[in-house]
Amino acid sequence: MSDEREKARAQRLEWEQNELREFRKRQPESKDRYETASGIPVHRVYTPEDAVPFEEIGFPGQFPFTRGPYPTMYRGRNWTMRQIAGFGTGEDTNRRFRYLIEQGQTGLSVDFDMPTLMGYDSDDPLSEGEVGREGVAIDTLEDMRALFDGIDLEKISVSMTINPTAWILLAMYVALAQERGYDLNKLSGTVQADILKEYQAQKEWIFPIRPSMRVVRDLIVYSARNLARYNPINISGYHISEAGANAVQELAFTMCNAVAYLQEVTQAGVPVDEFAPRLAFYFVAQQDFFEEIAKFRAARRCWAKIARRFGAKKPESMRLRFHCQTAAATLTKPQPMNNVVRTALQALSAVLGGAQSLHTNGLDEAYAIPSEMAMKVALRTQQIIADETRVSQVIDPLGGSWYVESLTKRIEDEVFAILDKVETMGGTVRAVEQGYFQREIAETAYRAVRKKASGEAPVVGVNKYVDAPKQEQIEIHKIDPEVEQRQIARTKEVRRKRDGAKLGALLERLEREAKDPAVNLMPVTIDLVKAGATMGEIVAPHLCGLPAPAPPGWSYRTGIDGTADDIAGG
């Protein structure tokens, strides 16, 4: 290899000194420096000088899984086409699910409204005006019944985009499955549940960080022992990217969070091979086509090495599986049809990077919740890639590219450098408490905005090839103004019919068990939702003495008495 590198270096120097130098005198390059969206310098041309040893690349389905988590990849079956949906009541979203399934969608994904995300019931005064607007409203098990009415949950996987209240939504899902007589080990899908990225990027959190980590631990342990095919967490870089992080930061911060979850669960005495095989990841497909492909490949390599460091022996524990979504932040209101092209290219990078499931954004998402027409076009985008382009015939078709392999290695190195830095800060939780991630994301986002404002970063239709101002005419989804009242009426009816004494006893049990770190909170939560408890009652102010929901910026250090380790078992 060293001889080949030396030969390639000599050939490149000869080319640069002769043909390239003379050509640049006649036609100079447009910039002095070229780089990826993350700022990684890009060479003019790549040669065997930039090659990576084959053992770092390997074969699909083998450590370090650079080329894919499974030996056959899309030759065995295509990625899951999982368009997200969620608005109004459970019935409203159920109709959208049925429409998407009719159009050939192969997995479901649920978006929840802000009150559900933050643990408020729909009739809470703070929920007014938000019920069912940006996702489906779920207050009780009755809403979950409506959401999945007529859908066989043993035959289709379901992803739920929910974080601070994830354990309650999973409890409802399990209760519904038990009610229908399903085998829990046949359920597949995930709750997102990644609370750490909320403190870093999305800011939708209820409890302080340390008791929140305890809840995530309980969710992961319960799922590992009761739901053989279910992913109890989707460790998410998507929202980190949407908040402004670049590709390297997205991957590095996600891996920092993954390390924290590994530590949290293994410190509770659960061996890594018992739960790691069901951990899943969630990344964005951004604009820089080759950097995104390299990012996905580097993600698998990073995770394989991290899991091995934690003592993983099973290949399944080291095998990174990920859902991908095209980048909502790249969608524009001006010239919205351009969003179809953006989404198609981003989706292609996800497929070439080896995604296990994929959501493609609607062309109208810069305006509103996607219409049926926009969702159909987005789904057809995936189907065209799968059925017409033939890119899925060869596993990791860009593997061996000097550019892609070099970029993959560079991203991996930068990710581990950030992991080392966070470790010196005391780990992920302490780095969050010190504002490290938040500060890094904000600074990167600011630089990106400056580049767009100056035109250095072109955005077609916004700062380049701009049309004269006019009103864009596209179909957009309309929210039924009666949604809130319909949802409140059902919640009140559930409260009227339930056994108040039984519910009160269960709430007391929850409060008692939450104070004991040795007790898993999932069983009592499942009992609660079966008894008709509402989301807001389970996330109650009296629970562990915590204010709920906590306002943004609320700190466990100043918001309550005692230390973090005193709360909910710490």
**pLDDT, tens digit (0-9, with 9 covering 90-100), for 308-355:** 999 999 999 999 999 999 999 999 999 999 999 999 999 999 999 999
**In which band, very low, low, confident or very high, does the pLDDT at 555 lie, cut at 50, 70 and 90?**
very low
Task: For residue 74, give the DSSP letter.
Answer: G
Closest CA to 475 of 568, 369, 325: 369
Task: For residue 467, give the DSSP letter.
Answer: P
Structural domain includes residue 503: no
Predicted TM-score (pTM) of the model is 0.92
**In which band, very low, low, confident or very high, does the pLDDT at 477 lie, cut at 50, 70 and 90?**
confident
Structural domain includes residue 558: no
Residues of the chain with pLDDT > 90: what percent? Answer: 88
DSSP 10-47: HHHHHHIIIIIHHHHHHS--S-S--B-TT--B--S---
Q: Is the pLDDT of residue 547 over 80?
A: no
Q: Is the pLDDT of residue 543 over 60?
A: no
d(CA 496, CA 435): 45
Q: Is the pLDDT of residue 55 over 60?
A: yes
Residues 6+ away with beta carbon under 8 Å from 310: 262, 266, 272, 276
**In which band, very low, low, confident or very high, does the pLDDT at 558 lie, cut at 50, 70 and 90?**
very low
Query: Which helix (H) or strand (E) segment is 358 a member of?
Result: strand 357-359
pLDDT average, residue stretch 397-403: 97
**What sign results for the dihedral spanned by CA atoms 193, 194, 196, 198?**
negative
d(CA 345, CA 559): 46
Per the structure, the complete domain to which residue 250 belongs is given by 54-454
pLDDT of res. 519: 95
Closest CA to 570 of 267, 269, 118, 235: 267
More confident residue, 188 or 548: 188
pLDDT of res. 551: 36
pLDDT of res. 450: 97
pLDDT of res. 481: 83
User: How many folded domains does the chain comprise?
Assistant: 1
Closest CA to 88 of 118, 120, 110, 119: 110
Mean pLDDT across the chain, nearest whole number? Answer: 92
Query: Residue 177's domain is classified under what CATH number?
Result: 3.20.20.240
d(CA 322, CA 490): 36
The 357-359 sheet, strands edge to edge: 80-81, 357-359, 322-326, 279-285, 233-236
Helix axes 166-179, 209-226, angle to 10 degrees: 20
pLDDT of res. 414: 98
d(CA 355, CA 293): 10
Contact in structure between 241 and 286 (CB atoms under 8 Å): yes
DSSP bridge partners of 191: 160
pLDDT of res. 401: 97
Closest CA to 137 of 480, 564, 463: 480
Closest CA to 543 of 516, 506, 508: 508
pLDDT of res. 549: 41
pLDDT of res. 562: 28
pLDDT of res. 194: 97
What value does the CA radius of gyration of the chain take, rounded to a whole number of Å?
24
Structural domain includes residue 516: no
Structural domain includes residue 512: no
Task: For residue 38, give the DSSP letter.
Answer: T
Helix (H, G, I), strand (E, B) or coil at 469: coil
Query: Which helix (H) or strand (E) segment is 211 a member of?
Result: helix 209-226
Structural domain includes residue 82: yes
CB crowding 181-206: b at 16 or more within 10 Å, else e: eeebeebbbbbbbbbbbbbbbbebbb
Peptide bond preceding 481 in cis form (omega within 30 of 0): no
Contact in structure between 259 and 288 (CB atoms under 8 Å): no
**In which band, very low, low, confident or very high, does the pLDDT at 540 lie, cut at 50, 70 and 90?**
confident
pLDDT of res. 474: 77
pLDDT of res. 472: 66
pLDDT of res. 68: 98
pLDDT of res. 240: 98
pLDDT of res. 49: 92
Helix (H, G, I), strand (E, B) or coil at 293: helix
Structural domain includes residue 270: yes
DSSP bridge partners of 112: 136
pLDDT average, residue stretch 481-497: 95
**What sign results for the dihedral spanned by CA atoms 348, 349, 352, 356?**
negative
Helix, strand, coil percentages (3-state) for the chain, rounded to 5, are: 50, 5, 40
Question: Tens digits of per-residue pLDDT, 427-471?
Answer: 999 999 999 999 999 999 999 999 999 999 999 999 999 998 776
Question: Quick one: how far is CA 179 from the chain centroid?
Answer: 29
Structural domain includes residue 539: no
d(CA 443, CA 498): 51
pLDDT of res. 3: 83
pLDDT of res. 280: 97
**In which band, very low, low, confident or very high, does the pLDDT at 545 lie, cut at 50, 70 and 90?**
very low
Structural domain includes residue 447: yes
